[in-house]
Amino acid sequence: MAEIIKTNRRDFLKLAATATGGLFIGFYWSGCDSPKMQVLSNEEILAKATDFNSFLSITLDGDVVIYSPNPELGQNIKTSFPMVVAEELDADWSRVRVLQAPLDTDKFERQLTGGSGAMPHSWERLRKAGATARHLLLTAAATRLEVDKNSLTTEKGVIYHKSSGKKLNYGEVVLDAAQLEAPDEVIFKDPKDFKIIGTPIKNVDNQEMFTGKPLFGLDFYREGMLHAMVQRPPFGMKIKSVDDTEARNVSGIQEVFVYDNNVALVGSSTWPIMKAKKLLKISYEPDGNVESTADHDRIFKELLDSKEARVMREDGNVDVAFKNASKVITSEYQCPFLSHSPMEPMNFFAHVKEDQVELIGPTQTPDSARVQTANLLGIPKENISVEITRLGGGFGRRLRADYVLEAVQISKKMEAPVKVTWSREDDMTGGAYRPAVRYRFSAALDEEGNMIGYKLRGVGMNAGNSVRQDNFPSGAVENVLIENVNYESSVTTNAWRAPITNFLAYAEQSFLDEVALEVQKDPVKFRLDLLQKAKNSPVGSVNYDVDRMIGVIKDVAEKSNWGKNSNVKQGFSVYFSHRSYVAQVANIEMENNQPVLKKIIASTDCGIVVNPTGANHQVRGGIVDGMGHAMFGNLTFENGLPKQKNFDSYRLIRMKEVPEVELHYVDSGYDPTGLGEPALPPTGGAIANAIFAATGRRLRSQPFVEQKEYSDMNLEIRRG
Amino acid sequence: MANYNLRVNGKKYEVDVEEDTPLLWVLRDHLGLVGTKYSCGIAQCGACTVHINGEATFSCVLPVSSIGDDKVTTIEGLSEDGDHPVQKAWNEIDVAQCGYCQAGQIMNAASFLNKNPKPSFDEIDEAMNRNICRCGTYHKIREAVALAAKTK
Ligand code: FES
Ligand code: FES
């Protein structure tokens, strides 16, 4: 059904038309403090053009330009956002050009990439912008043709009056449209009439990406710019002394200096700096805990038993439940630190001038980078401009602005424009990892095999809250106790794609598998029974939509022929995170007595699929990512330093290691939710459960390839 | 420092750099050809893949002094208008996520298909295994190489 939607007229700033410019519609994504519509001169338009959260413009020729405000790191937002605007505008996609919007000052509500939140946040706003523009164009056309507005239709940027056969291109009426007031309400299309949404529109940057155009932060060069690299200390250490004699002798090195426990090297190009950096002789001394992986393992065990823990959720009485249980199952699961390792290492350009700063580079949080720069320099943030380049991956690492501030500090000291580049070794040893975590799960079972009690304690290394207390199976079990213990490690951590759930889901879904098999229930049926309970008699708050979770479980069970082929050993997993539901089944077949992972089948409910190609990318990419890190990812420490420093020792998944991946979507009709993260969490569990089904070996820690249960197994991965 | 005459994408360049400077950094820092990417610097990921006389080569570990008269081709010079069959297939299959690894993937695929115009899927996997894609676009890469082989 088409929907009538109230607009907040203050959300829109429509700029007057000019002979050259056409119609500009600026739209704010927050409802507050927006100026009224104004009529502006040509110069004012140009000055104002970047003053919105975003805007679209239509030229007199009917070309459409849509600004995409969010950083693009591979989640395809630069393509999918404009698709939504163009849909409601009824534009001709072949005449739409997409530009990356710069960071705007105060009016931004959400110009960041993280938490898979962009699409749910902006869905309605984007539709309103397109529908408002279309409304204005139609109104102008009705006046021009002297017909009733309701007798007009639009298609691909053209307005038709069917009975008279007259038609007008959008460009022909933009000047008139620009004189009109923004409407109080607009009509949204019925989703079944969508022509652009739901079609596989190609990535708008393809041509530039595939011909090597400078798109990424590291590709940014400017005449007179200096290059810099930084040697950072091991965790828990501080600089005692620096001998930079040899480093300074490398030709091309301009300056070596110490700041904030770092040594900065500055030169005219990258290679001499890389060489000089290796010649630095720095001695460090302890400045806090200097930790090794052995320490972390010991601390995990201690804190799992410690008396002190923060209770995150408590339903019923677990003590009684566990006392009355006819059987208790307890298991522990552990995951290591991980590096984000986007293919493009950290880098940023800064030019600190008298009281102005120019920042250019790859960041997931441009506004935070600016605010932190303002605080560091003690200048107003309005004096700082941020240009967002395309990001060569992020995975959460570029939510931090540490590498931006380095560029700022070095530029300030050198009084010159500077680009700071991290080598791969810097990127891997320079901190802000996915935290290592250990979990202990316990289930209390009654005589019929019902789970009457459920306990979970998470211990994390700088993980903040390492549990998600309200996630399934909370709500489906009478007596629940969920606790968290955080250890303040000197190793720095940061959000990593699907924070916490990227390993919690594997541990939880493996444990539930253990419980199901213990009570001799089919793992899928076991979950469905629990969900039925959460639906019929929920215990405490339930933060997931039971029906949507059941929807993906049933879908994946059907599509994977769950349990129907005894030659295929299957592992099941389901998880709700970042507003989307994803269930997965991994298929393993035994060949010559060895397990061969052949396929992963996924069923996703992310509401309306905006761009099927983009959605497939995110779900498949999340599965490959989840699998790669579950299988291989491991960052270990010795005396405050990661032992793995580059891809020779830190193993990333490769071409030959990915099984076939089959994707399905449950059409629930809900507004779209993000997909950058939700497909990753279930994968580790599905694979581990399949390995158990095939070999009887339960993998209780990651990475799989480095544990005892795996050592004499040869899991092959082969596509069909 | 020493002078080197290089032949890149059919053009002649002269650079004055240290002899151990990897071709990658000559391209990026000195010739302004930034399509060739840096990611690991130790011949592990393939982001820096260029063609040396048509052969896919990791430019991050190739000292400029070793190049001599060899013909260097980078992503910028793979085709005039971005219409090499591999580039076209990459667009058709819409391979990229972040896109950072893709220039290296395309260069590797183009050189591979020159040598093996009708590869099996196993051969594609084998050849493309030397390039890492952190975003996990492997399925699409495989499809695109197969498509390029078909349309060539
Ligand atoms: S940058 Fe050359 S192989 Fe990774
Ligand atoms: S597309 Fe991002 S690394 Fe390959």
Which residue in chain A is spatially nearest to B122 when comparing CA positions?
A656
Please report the atom of ligand 2 found closest to the CA of residue B97: 1
Whether residue A468 is found in the same domain as residue A601: yes
For residue A299, being part of any structural domain is answered with no
| pLDDT tens track for B82-115 | 999 999 999 999 999 999 999 999 999 999 999 9
Whether residue A591 is found in the same domain as residue A630: yes
**pLDDT over 80 (residue A702):** yes
- Identical fold for domains B2-77 and B85-151, yes or no, is no
Helices (H), ranges, chain B: 23-25, 85-93, 102-115, 121-128, 138-151
SS3 state of residue A14: strand
Q: Say how far apart CA B38 and CA A250 lie, in whole Å.
A: 22
CATH 1.10.150.120 fits B85-151, yes or no: yes
Name chain A contacts of B35, Cβ cutoff 8 Å: 211-214
Name chain B contacts of A654, Cβ cutoff 8 Å: 129, 132, 138
Q: Give residue A244's identity as a one-letter amino acid code.
A: D
For residue A330, being part of any structural domain is answered with no
* Mean pLDDT for the stretch of residues A36-43: 34
pLDDT of A31: 33
pLDDT of B134: 98
CATH 3.10.20.30 fits B2-77, yes or no: yes
CB-CB under 8 Å, B136 with A653: yes
Whether residue A376 is found in the same domain as residue A515: no
CB-CB under 8 Å, A621 with B135: yes
Least confident range from A77-91, A524-538, B63-77: namely A77-91
For residue A300, being part of any structural domain is answered with no
**pLDDT over 70 (residue A667):** yes
pLDDT of B70: 97
CB-CB under 8 Å, B101 with A212: no
Longest dimension (CA), chain A: 85
Whether residue A453 is found in the same domain as residue A507: yes
Whether residue A373 is found in the same domain as residue A457: no
Whether residue A583 is found in the same domain as residue A623: yes
Q: How many domains does chain A have?
A: 3
* Mean pLDDT for the stretch of residues A36-52: 38
Chain mean pLDDT for chain A: 89
**pLDDT over 90 (residue A271):** yes
| pLDDT tens track for B120-133 | 999 999 999 999 99
Q: Which of B34, B47, B78 sits opposite A214 (nearest CB)?
A: B34
Whether residue A526 is found in the same domain as residue A406: no
A663 inside 8 A of chain B by CB: no
Q: Is the peptide bond before A345 cis (omega within 30 degrees of 0)?
A: no
| Chain A contact probe: residue of B26, B27, B100 with most A CBs at under 10 A | B100
| pLDDT tens track for A422-469 | 999 999 999 999 999 999 999 999 999 999 999 999 999 999 999 999
Strands (E), A378-526: 384-388, 418-421, 437-445, 451-461, 479-487
For residue A301, being part of any structural domain is answered with no
Q: In this complex, how many residue pairs, one in chain A and one in chain B, have their CB atoms less than 8 Å apart?
A: 179
For residue A703, being part of any structural domain is answered with yes
For residue A608, being part of any structural domain is answered with yes
* Mean pLDDT for the stretch of residues A132-155: 94
Whether residue A104 is found in the same domain as residue A229: no
**pLDDT over 50 (residue A19):** no
pLDDT of A181: 80
Whether residue A390 is found in the same domain as residue A450: no
Q: Say how far apart CA A182 and CA A184 lie, in whole Å.
A: 7
Task: Report the DSSP pairing between strands A152-155 and A158-161.
Answer: antiparallel
The answer, yes or no, to whether ipTM is higher than 0.95 is yes
Q: Which of B32, B39, B87 sits opposite A221 (nearest CB)?
A: B32
**pLDDT-derived band of residue A141, with 50, 70 and 90 as boundaries?**
very high
Residues A509-518 as b/e (b if ≥16 CB within 10 A, e otherwise) read bbbbbbbbbe
pLDDT of A66: 78
Whether residue A382 is found in the same domain as residue A440: no
User: A694: distance to nearest CA of chain B, Å?
Assistant: 25
CB-CB under 8 Å, A345 with B38: yes
**pLDDT over 70 (residue A604):** yes
**pLDDT-derived band of residue A204, with 50, 70 and 90 as boundaries?**
confident
Residues 22-41 of chain B with CB under 8 A from chain A are 22, 25, 28-30, 32-41
Whether residue A224 is found in the same domain as residue A257: yes
CATH number for the domain spanning A7: value is 3.30.365.10
Whether residue A535 is found in the same domain as residue A498: yes
Residues 64-103 of chain B with CB under 8 A from chain A are 74-76, 78-79, 82, 87, 90-91, 94, 96-103
Give Cβ neighbours of residue A378 (< 8 Å, ≥ 6 apart).
none
- Domain encompassing residue A629: 309-321+433-717
For residue A303, being part of any structural domain is answered with no
B140 inside 8 A of chain A by CB: yes
For residue A684, being part of any structural domain is answered with yes
- Domain ranges for chain B, please list them: 2-77, 85-151
